[in-house]
Structure 1
Amino acid sequence: MSSGDGRAPGPLLLLLLLLALPRSAGRRRAVVNRSIPDVCATCHIHATCQQSGGKSVCICNYGFVGNGRTHCQDKDECQIGASKICGNHTLCHNTHGSFYCVCLDGYRASNNNKTFIPNDGTNCTDIDECEESGLCGHNARCVNTEGSYMCYCNDGYKLETGEHSFHQDENNVSCKEIGCGSPPEMKNGYIVGNYSVQPGSAVHYECREGFYSNEGKFSYCTENGTWEPATLSCKEIDCGKPWLIPHTTMTWDNSTTLWSRVYYHCKEGYYFNGDKNFSECTMDQSWENITYVCEEEELFSNLSIFNETCVRWQKKTGRLGVQEMYTFHVQGQRWYQKNFFHEMTFELFTHKQAPEVCLDLQPGTNYSINISMVALNFSLLVSMTTQITDPPFPEVEFVAVKGSAPLLRLRKAEDQNGPISLYQVIVLPLDLQSTFICDSFAATTFFSNTTDIKGYVAAEFQAKDVADNMSIALGDRHYYGKFYNAPLKLGQEYCVFLKIISEWNKVRTQSCVIWAQIKNLSPSLQYMTAVGLGSVAAVCLVLFLSFSVARSCLHRSVHPPPAAVACEAVHLSTTVDVASAGIASLFLETESVSLL
């Protein structure tokens, strides 16, 4: 307030104000001091009061996050991933305020505890389940894997399910012994002897009587427990039509299978001359030969065969000087060539007392010749077998090469002049090509390291084993038949012959043809490498010997006698020459073949 005259308040008023101010201020200060709370008392139950900068601060405990006073919630340590917080091959489990780790199946903790917290270096290591005996059961083996294991059947066993591997704890399976069971049946065939059903075993088939086969007769049990299909095909034996015998009638049921029989009977006016009057179909698919002949009154005699294909006879005395007409009916067959049939008919007019006829017959053939005197209705049957002649020249593609051995292709020849038995590949030095005689290689000779080589048989093949357009590699070091396919020598020149051999009725014939010429045979890459290594070895040997000689000289004297120096030089030279010769001979072919 103010006085009525506008002056300043009086001293009394100021005093009253001063007395009032301290008391009021003191009361306000007392109220403020009572409102400051105790910080540590306000910390969350999962928080700890700590001093920081002279002040009390509430901090959430390990494993919790929050402001420390109003909330401290659990921290999920596993959310960053088990491999990051626990390590590899683990599972992470969060707990209230903490966590723990466990190893995956197939692993164990290095501290051998079921759970761990990776603050001491604990990690999870693989468990070798295969240490447990018999884990996979009988006839099986265990293979440990990372964190697990697998079971595999032993050799000779397989799973019933057909799977390759298994877990014994997942399904109840077992390994059963592999077996092919009963072999397949063969039409018109049967099994010979005993057999096994184990893999690799073979069963042998044969055709039953009356059937034949030229194909494979074995079936093999495979690793999969199945039988390979046999290539055997049994075909029924068929002899075809039987022989015709003049002046006979046949009793025959038209059967041409094995052991079929045809009976012959002489016509009226003829009599039987021979050992039996029937012929049977045999295993070689031909009718057996018989000497059954129906003869009339003898009109000519002294019949003989000469020069293999010629016949002569004596005419009846009572018809001397009379011109006779003879008819010839010729039939030829081959046992080795079923589709071959040679037939011809011709007439002969002659007044000679001792006629002679030479027939144009095919080689390697069985002939039946019926000679008839037309005027007297008289016939005579003659059997004749011609010898084989040289087989046809081999059909080859001539090859001329330089530097390397060629790959030759063999074409199968036809049985034209007799049954072809063998094929031979013959190697000669090129300078002997003009002097080669096909018969000179008839002897059987093996490859030898001791004889002087002039030529040799490199390979021999049975005709039945030769496929058309078959490949032959010269010098492959294999045996073909009884002969060794020797490697060709470097720098040499060769000529190669192909020989075809026929054998029948104790007669052997052959034909040869030049197949290839090889010039300037050069070494292969492997040979050049070997020679290079040999040269390096020779140089090293020379250096070593030089060092040895020098060292020996130092130990003798400072001024050795000239004779000693010369001796050492000769010795060193000889050593080097021997070493060089040894190195050279090491990489050259030293094999040779016997001269036939």
Structure 2
Amino acid sequence: MRCIGNSTSATWDDPIRCTEQCQKSALFLGTNVQLVPPQDYYLPNTGVSVRCPEGYKPSRDRITCKAEQDKSVWDVTAPILCVELCRESDLSVDIRVQLVPSQRYYLPNTGVSVRCPGGYKPSQDRITCKAEQDKSVWDESVIRCVEQCAKPTAPGIRSLSLNKDFYDLWESVSVTCAPGYHGVSGAVRCEWNGTSSNWNEPDPCIVLRRPSFTQFPTGADNALKWRLSEGRKVYTGFQLNISAHREYDITFSETESHWLGPNVTEFNMELKYGTNYTVTLRGFTVSGPGEPAVWAHETSIGEPLLPLKNQIAIGDTTATFQLHPVPDSNGPISSYEIIVSGGWNGSLRQLCTSYTSTRYNSSQVPTLYTAVLLPAVKLTKSRTFTLGDGLYYDGFFNSPLSPDWNYKVYLRVTSKWKEVEKASCTCLDPYVVSLKLEITGVPSPTETVLQWRRVGGSRRDITGYQLNMVAWKEHTVIEEESQRLPPNVMEHRIPMEPGSSYMVTVRALTAAGPGEASLWLSGTPKATGASDSYVRVSLVLKPLFLTVLILILLCVTVREKWEQRGADFPAFRNLIGQFRGEKRHRGRTERGGSVEMAPL
């Protein structure tokens, strides 16, 4: 320093001060920590290295003594420790494990790669030395080289989804099999068996033969049966596909598919007539379907379905009924045949199998002939046929019917296909043509007998008569009667109580059913075509019944007044007949009653 002065005083240019040094004792040093250079005091702005024994690392590699005004301080206040390093010897490894880089000690937060020789894979690809307070530890202490599975080379393997020389433990790979081989499973997996690594399926591809059919469905047994191939143990199930079509009906098509268990060896098929079937059966494994077994078969046609039976409407020399098309479920329908029988006693089965279509012959008794032979193409919807219309149908004469014959009508439906012919027959209800009764005598106060007779024909077809009567007086029903009379009785006594009114219906009965009803109404014209429902009048309907009777009486009164005035009553009657759409036969009786006949 230098002394500087003027005319009056003098002073030093830089006064000398004493600055406190950094003391070693001011540091918090852990065990085995060494400072280089080793001193008790360190000058300001001096760097000091920190050292630790082998296998340890200082928490600070270097510290510095810094000057602050008139004193010096260390740049660290935290304790300085020797942190223990991770040792290679701390790891539990087998002799195949290699650490990269390979050294005795590893610093904290250092990652180390693990390597194994070919055919092996380390249990951990990388381990890390982690710092924990004053020491370092490995994040994984046990390292092994695990044996891998070598690339599958079994017969039948065409390709692998991942192609490499070795596969890790528990790794799966998909296998594609060569033609002629079938996969046991979709993928194979490398597994540990306790001593080594091996594939869970050593032969992933096998030769899988198709199932073999051993029995086909028949009419007596509908079971389709098969035998499994040698690969049965690998089946997960079977798929059975059935398709059906008909050559004669392009609109018919049916398909069905069934999944069957691996141990199923039969299936019941409900075969339909006249149908072409194609059946495919294939086994499945986890990797997909095997080669299918195929069976193709055409069933024969069967007897056509029975046609609908309908009631016969009876005329004088004709009878009509509805003819409906029959579905071709059992085979294509070729024709409909109406066969008329008069006195023939053969069986329905005999008619279907043995009868040959025969033209009408008036000299043949008993008679059995074909009235109509209709190709199926001419019956596409329901159609009304009249027996006895006197027309020809494809060369067969539909002869008028005799009014005194008891007839039966048979309908034969025929199906033909590929040299096979089947037929089904049905018999319509027997009937007698034009069975009518005429009332010939009506009751009077002196002779209370109602008499009748049959119009046309003989009585040999009649099994009896049904007579129903209702009597009323002053708007109150006083008597109801219903009797069945034997065929030789053609009269019945009516009480004819004074002041009472009577309504009687009578009809003939045959084996084919009742005929038309004829009605007699005391003191009034008889209604025509009367129904037996008039006879059984319930208490609930009596008021309505009486109202109807009053209306009838009013009509009678009007008619009588027209007759008294010379009016043209027949013209009026014809007008009423046209309105009702009926043709009636009317006759006056000598006792003031009237009778009429009309179809029911």
Alignment TM-score, normalising by the size of structure 2: 0.34
Which structure's residues are more often strand, by fraction?
2
The structure number with the bigger radius of gyration is 2
TM-score, scaled to structure 1: 0.34
Q: Indicate the structure with greater helix content.
A: 1
